[in-house]
Each structure stands twice: as structure tokens, then as C-alpha cells.
Amino acid sequence: QVQLVESGGGSVQAGGSLRLSCAASGETYKIYCMGWFRQAPGKEREGIATIYTLAGTAYYADSVKSRFTISHDNATYLQMNSLKPEDTAMYYCTAGAMYDGACTLTFYRPNVWGQGTQVTVSS
């Protein structure tokens, strides 16, 4: 079993920054791919970033590319800069399996979810 706990959410003004953290416990040796998802009320759940933990290879959705950075160093992080009101959502940390030797966002399917942390961006 793997357990994930997110932290670092909060309220910021547009243009501000936040850094989300995700701590993993349990059978962490089985984790190769980590990913961040978000979901706003009335909208579909969106995968926004994934990372291959051993190599640090990262992938991003177009909606956050150039503004968000995913990284892994014991814990998994999501640095969010130049935040927009459209980024307001519940953010979830996830763990999943590799697809054809990679953690490409397009083919990423999470197996474990954290409880979520709220991010609110005001204009």
C-alpha cells in the first residue's frame, strides 16, 4: 500500500505563487511515476503534470506549461508561478505505473490518490 498526503494549498492573488508538496509512505519502492491532477467545480478532472521519479523527466499539460514545475526529491512538489483565477481548483497528488518505460502525461493512469489540497486564486 502507498499513502499520499498533499500540503501547501491556500489563497493567493493573481500573479502570485504557491508550492504544493506531496509526501508518500508505505511501499514507495513501487512508485516510478507521480502526477498532479486538479478539478474545479463543474469541470472535468485534469491531469496537469507527471514525472518519472528516478530520472526527473517531466511532462506538462498545455494549460500550465511554462508556469508550473513538477519535481521530485524524496517528496514530490508542484511549484506554481504566475497563478491565474482559472487555476482555482482542488489539487491532487497521485502515483501510477509506467507506460512503455515512461511516465508520459498522455498515457498516465494514477493508481493512488491523495486527499487533495485547495488552491484559490483571486483576481
- Give the rounded percent of residues in the chain with a pLDDT score beyond 70: 100
Burial class (CB in 10 A: 0-12, 13-18, 19+), 21: middle
pLDDT digits (tens, 9 = 90+) for 69-99: 999 998 999 999 999 999 999 999 999 999 9
Running DSSP on this structure, what letter comes out for residue 102? B
